[in-house]
Amino acid sequence: MNLDLWSIIIIVFVFHGLFLLSSILFTNTRRERKENLYLSFLIISLIWFMSEFLLIRNRVDLGFDFFYGTRYGSWFLFGPLSFFYFKSITNSNWKIKGLDFLHFMPFAVFTILIPAIFGNILNHRQVDYGMLSVFDHREKIITPIQYVYSFVFIGQFVHMGYYFGRNLGQVKKYTAELSEQYSNINGNVKWLKIFNVSFLIILFFVAAFLYLLLITDIYRRYLDYIYVFPIGALFYLISYYLINTEWKPTIKSNAVKYAKSSLNPDNISLYVERLNQLMVDEKVYLDKELRLTDLAEKMKLNAHHLSQLINQNYHQSFFDFINKYRIEEAKEMIEVNPEYTLLQVAFDSGFNNKTSFVNAFKKFEKTTPSAFRVAKVYA
C-alpha cells in the first residue's frame, strides 16, 4: 500500500470513526438510547465505505468481494439507516416493524442477492477505474448487466437524496410537535438540520464528481476525494454535536387534536385568566427550561387541555406563546437598560442562547434586537 498524504488522511478519518463508534457502544448512557443504535449502524457503514475506498485507491484486494460493495450499490443502505435514525429521534413511540425492512430491499437485491447468484459480474475496468468507466470514449465490450450496475452506481445516490428529503419532512413535523410542548427547542432541531444538510452537501459533491466524469469526460483518481473527504469530516461533526445532545420526547401526534376534547368550555375564561396571571404577574416565561407540562401543573390542568387552550384562544403554539412574552420582556429591558449586552438580555428574558433570541425577535418584531436598540437610542 502506498501511504501518500491522501491515504493517511483517510486512515485518520477511519480511526476517528472507530473511536466515535466505541464511545457509543462502550458508554452505558449512550448505548441505551434507542437512536444511537441506528447512528452506530450509520457510522459502521461510513467506516466500511471509507476503508473500501482506501483499499480500492491503493489496488488492495482482500479476496472478499462483498467488502467492495459500493461497486454494487451498498450506498442503498445509507438512506434507510439515516431515515430510521431521524425517525427514532422525532417519534419517541416509533419501533421498527417487519414492513420497515422493505426499505433495505434495493441494498439486498443489488449488493447481496444478484452478486451471490451470478458471481463476479463486473469487468476489469469497472474494478480498476471505477463503475462509470463504461461511459468513457475508449473502445470496450460491456455486457448488459455491467451497464445496469453503472446506472445502479448513480441510482444509489439518487436513492439517498430521496431519503434525505424525507428526513427534512420529519424534522419539520418534529419542530411543530416540540413547539407545542417546549419553550426552547433550538438545540434539538439545530442538530437534526445540520446533520441532514451535511448529507445533502455530500450529495452535492457527488453530483460535482459525476458531472466532471460524465459531462466533461475528465477523470483523475484524486477527483474521488471530492466527495470522500466530506464523508470523513462527518465523523467530526457527529462527535461535536452528538456528545451533549439530549433529545426532547414528544407526545403522540394525535394528542393535540381536539375533536373529542373533554375540556369544559364553561371553565375556559377562568383558565385564560389564570394563564394571564402566571405570565404577567409571576413571569413564568423567564424559566429557560419551561415546558408545557410545567405550566399545566401550575394551572392544575391537563397538558393536552392547556395546549388546546393556547392554540384556540391565542392562535399560537406553546413555543410562540412563551417567546412572545419573552420578547416583550427583552424590549423593555433594552429600553430601560441600554448598556446590557444582547446576550445578557437574551438570558435574562428567558432564552437559553442568543440565536433563539434573535430569531424570535425577528419573527415578532420584524427587525433584529440590535436594530431595535439603535432605533430606541436615537429616537
Q: Which residues contact 338 (CB under 8 A, 6 or more apart)?
A: 373, 376, 377
- Distance from C-alpha of 212 to C-alpha of 221, rounded to nearest angstrom: 12
Are the beta carbons of 152 and 110 closer than 8 angstroms?
yes
Q: Tell me whether domains 5-242 and 262-377 share a fold.
A: no
Q: What is the mean pLDDT of residues 66-79?
A: 87
| pLDDT over 60 at 25, yes or no | yes
Instruction: Kindly report the three-state secondary structure assignment for every residue of 267-327.
Output: HHHHHHHHHHHHHHCCCHHHCCCCEHHHHHHHHCCCHHHHHHHHHHHHCCCHHHHHHHHHH
pTM: 0.73
Confidence category of residue 179, pLDDT binned at 50, 70, 90: confident
- DSSP, collapsed to helix, strand or coil, labels residue 153 as helix
Residue 48 to residues 24, 43, 67, 246: CA-CA distances in angstroms? Answer: 17, 8, 8, 28
Confidence category of residue 100, pLDDT binned at 50, 70, 90: very high
Q: Which residues contact 45 (CB under 8 A, 6 or more apart)?
A: 74, 77, 78, 81
Confidence category of residue 57, pLDDT binned at 50, 70, 90: confident
Q: What is the mean pLDDT of residues 212-224?
A: 66
CB atoms within 10 A of CB 378: 6
Q: What percent of the chain has pLDDT over 90?
A: 27
The model's pLDDT over 299-337, given as tens digits with 9 standing for 90+, comes to 888 888 888 888 888 888 899 999 999 999 999 999 988
- Write out the three cell numbers for 26: 462502550
Per-domain residue ranges for the chain?
5-242, 262-377
User: In this predicted structure, what is the pLDDT of residue 282?
Assistant: 92
- Helix, strand, coil shares of the chain, percent, nearest 5, are 75, 0, 25
CATH architecture of 5-242: Up-down Bundle (1.20)
Domain boundaries 262-377, corresponding CATH code: 1.10.10.60
- Distance from C-alpha of 343 to C-alpha of 158, rounded to nearest angstrom: 43
The model's pLDDT over 236-264, given as tens digits with 9 standing for 90+, comes to 877 766 655 666 666 544 444 454 566 67
